[in-house]
Amino acid sequence: MIRTATPADVPVIHAMVRELAEYEKALDEVRASEEQLREALFGERPAAFAHIAESDEGEAVGFALWFLNFSTWRGVHGIYLEDLYVRPTKRGGGYGKALLRELARICVERAYERLEWSVLDWNTPSIDFYKSLGAVAMDEWTVNRLTDDALHRLGTGG
């Protein structure tokens, strides 16, 4: 079962964000607190949205956290999937596909023309899974990022 996340899901979403970061060998980079997630997802002006995958027993076993992007070429919004995670003991049960299906359904319903995400180049199981769904890698594009000191220097003219 896939459902829209509620404020009561914030602790489990936070825990799974940490699990995902550990899997990606980047747990030390997680700075987000439960309160920050709560504000981002359920504050006065939500910046992101989340869906929960539940087992038949009602246990949260995965999540998708996403936000809207915009294509100047297409002239419409799309969804950028920030995180997709299914707990290791539940992988292969269709939860990841169900989460992506729900986001694709939202795109179709709202006339969004893109569902995009990034995947680490060493994460072969995920890459193979995405390819099986028809996803196309954007091989000619390179993700760029400014954070920490570099972002501060640029933002302050320093």
Q: β-strands 2-4, 76-86: how paired?
A: unpaired
8 A C-beta contact, residue 123 and residue 131: no
What six digits make up the tokens of 79? 């969804």
* Catalytic site includes residue 112: no
Backbone angles phi, psi at 4, to 5 degrees: -70, 135
Distance, in Å, from the CA atom of 48 to the CA atom of 51, rounded to the nearest integer, reads: 11
The 3-state secondary structure of 124-150 reads: HHHHHHHHHCCCCCCCCCCCCCCCHHH
Catalytic residue, candidates 85, 95, 112, 130: 130
Residues with catalytic function: 130
